Amino acid sequence: MPTLGIDLGGTFARAAVVDAKGNIIASAKMALGERSPSAVVESIAHAAKAAVDTAGTPVQGCGVGAAGQIHGESGVLAVAPNLGWRNVPLGEMLRTRLGYPVRVVNDLSAAAWGELNAGAGRGSQDMYTVFVGSGVGSAIIAGGRLVTGGGGVAGELGHIKVVPNGRRCGCGELGCLEAYAGGHNLIAQTRELLATGRSQVLKELTGGDPARVTPVTLEQAAEAGDAEAREIYERASLMLAVAVANQVTVLNPARLILGGGVLTHCPGIRRRVVEGVQAFASTTSREGLLISDAELGDDSGLIGAALLA
């Protein structure tokens, strides 16, 4: 019987009815209005009902991928920064509202599970997935099982320290990988450079408008030979490359899956990460390693959540 997958972001809840092979039968999307837990549960329930009604088939369980920290198998969302939540028993609330068994996992874990079972990781048991979007995250699958960690927050690659006491990260700590190489911080660093007025290339690319800066702008400025843009760009790429390579060394995955907006839209950064894994991961750990791009795009979390149900 199909299952229901929920992808809970900061602005939308998406729901999909998914078959056992990971095909989406029907889906629905609902904007989140008020962010109180009960209002969000209602939004999810509406999206779920729409998806189930469209599919015209009963479902036997529900999986939820949510951005935030989930405490083990409890279904409790300990911290969800996008929603401003702390210790919300989302699993239990949804179980009561929907009448299905509900499992709540981290959104990147759900996405990795989707890729493992219906995307780029098919046939694999040991897979490491790295997402570089506005932030930097990862998910570990070992022996065919999701590694969640003792506190449910395994995979926080963005918050490893690459410069002890370095640049301040959005998490409040200093020197995190994300503070240098996450999309949000790539934009911030590029805007800082634009604001100095020293980069003619950046001025031309953006018309002087900081709002037009994206990670792609930085890649273009670096490729156009702007020395300071290049420094930010090469530093971020090298840090990402070494960080990913080091996780390949420690985890020895059979597959490395790359996803997220920055790796998708900045081919130069993606190339440096791939080449960096070849250069910096230990020889034995990358024997037989297959590197590929995530295949399911935005649907990976929905599909993975449903398959985890």
Q: Which of 152, 182, 215, 304 binds a second copy (CB under 8 A)?
A: 152
Binding map of a second copy across residues 199-238, x = CB under 8 A, - = no contact: ---------------------------------------x
Shortest distance (Å) from residue 102 CB to a second copy: 20
Counting contacts by CB under 8 A, is residue 251 touching a second copy? yes
Counting contacts by CB under 8 A, is residue 274 touching a second copy? no
Q: Which stretch binds a second copy (CB under 8 A): 88-96, 108-116, 170-178, 202-210?
A: 170-178
Counting contacts by CB under 8 A, is residue 254 touching a second copy? yes
Q: How many CB atoms lie within 10 A of CB 97?
A: 15
Shortest distance (Å) from residue 207 CB to a second copy: 37
Counting contacts by CB under 8 A, is residue 26 touching a second copy? no
Residue 198 or 271 having the CB closest to a second copy: 271
Q: Give the interface size with a second copy as a residue count (CB under 8 A).
A: 50
Counting contacts by CB under 8 A, is residue 277 touching a second copy? no
Counting contacts by CB under 8 A, is residue 245 touching a second copy? yes
**Chain contacts with a second copy (rule: CB under 8 A):** 69, 79, 124-126, 138, 140, 142-143, 145, 147-157, 159-161, 164, 171-173, 176, 238, 242, 245-247, 249-255, 279-280, 282-285, 287-289
